[in-house]
Amino acid sequence: MTRWLLPISALFLLVLWEGAVDLLHIPNYVVPAPSAVVSASIRMAESGLLIENALVTLIETLAGFAVAFVLAGVLAVLISEFRIAEKLIYPYVVALQSMPKVAVGPLIVIWFGFGLSSKIALSALLAMFPMLVNFVQGLRAADQGRLNLMRALDASRWQTLWLVRIPYALPFFLAGLELGAIYAMLGAIVGEFLGSTSGLGNWLLAMNLNLDISGSFALLILLALYGIVLQWLVAVLRRRVLFWAQQDTRPNETGGKP
C-alpha cells in the first residue's frame, strides 16, 4: 500500500493545483495550471531541445560528481589517517565551503571560460564538501574492537583501511554520494546561470527572461524528478550493497548516526 502513497499524493496535488488556478483565476504568467505545464513540456520535447540541453547538464553533473568523488575520497583518507593532514587541509576546505558560490561562480567562469570546464568546476565545488564530511565520518566510525584486532595482527595502516574502515564506512559513503549527486546538479545549474550557451540552467534563465512561466515550471519539475530518481537509485544501491548492514549503522544526512 505504501508504494502507492507517492503517486496518489502527487495526483491529488495536481488536481488541487489545477482547480485552484481555475477557481481563483490566477494568470498564467503568475502560476500556470498543470495542463499548461504539460503542454509546454510536450512542446519542448517535440522541439528536440529538451533532450539536447538535458544531456549537456547531465554530462556536466556527472563529470563534476566524478571529480568531487575522487577529491573527497583522497582528502578523506588523508584527513582520517594523518593528524597533520587534518590540521592543514580541513580548515581550508571549510573556508572554501563557507564562501558564497554565487560570488565565487563568476571568478570560476573567468578562470575556466564559458565551456564545460567552468560548469564541471562549480559542480565539483558544491558536491565535494558533503561527500567529504560523510567520508571522513564513515572512516572514523569503524568498530574499535576490529581496529584493535588489526593492530594485534600487525596489519599495516592501508590493510586496516581497506579491510576494516572502508567496509564499515559504506553506509556513510552512500549517504555522501546521494547528497553529492544532488549538489553536483545544483552546481552545474548555477554555472549555466552565470554563463553558458546550452544546458537546462541556460534554458531556464532564458524562459524566465521571456516570461515563459509554463516552460520554467516544466524545467523545474524535470529537475525535481531528477532528485526523486536519484534518491531511488541510491536506495536500490544501498539495498544491493548493504544487505548485511544493520539499520542502526545508517548515517543521517549530516554524516552522523541518528
Q: What is the 3-state secondary structure (H, E, C) of 20-44?
A: HHHHHCCCCCCCCCHHHHHHHHHHH
| pLDDT (0 to 100) of residue 258 | 38
- Interhelix angle for 200-209 vs 49-81, to 10°? 120
**Residue 155: partners with Cβ closer than 8 Å, 6 or more residues away:** 163
Rounded to an integer, the average pLDDT of 86-105 is 82
Look up residue 115 and give its amino acid: G
Rounded to an integer, the average pLDDT of 9-22 is 85
Interval 37-61: pLDDT, tens: 888 888 888 888 888 888 998 899 9
Protein fold of 49-249: MetI-like fold (1.10.3720)
Interval 153-187: pLDDT, tens: 877 777 887 778 888 888 888 888 888 888 998 88
Residue 79's nearest CA partner among 89, 69, 67 is 89
CB atoms within 10 A of CB 160: 19
Q: Which three cell numbers stand for residue 152?
A: 594485534
Q: Distance between CA 80 and CA 138 in Å, rounded?
A: 9
Interval 104-147: pLDDT, tens: 888 888 888 888 888 999 999 999 998 998 988 888 887 778 77
Domain layout of the chain by residue ranges? 49-249
Interval 178-231: pLDDT, tens: 888 889 988 888 888 887 778 888 888 888 888 888 889 988 888 888 877 877
Provide DSSP, 167-211.
HHHHHHHHHHHHHHHHHHHHHHHHHHHHS-SSSHHHHHHHHHHTT
| pLDDT (0 to 100) of residue 256 | 44
| pLDDT (0 to 100) of residue 124 | 92
| pLDDT-based confidence at residue 243 (cuts at 50, 70, 90) | low
Q: Which three cell numbers stand for residue 191?
A: 554555472
Q: According to DSSP H, which parts of the chain are helical? A: 5-24, 34-47, 49-81, 83-98, 101-112, 116-139, 144-152, 157-160, 166-194, 200-209, 213-241
CB-based contact 171:47 (threshold 8 Å): no
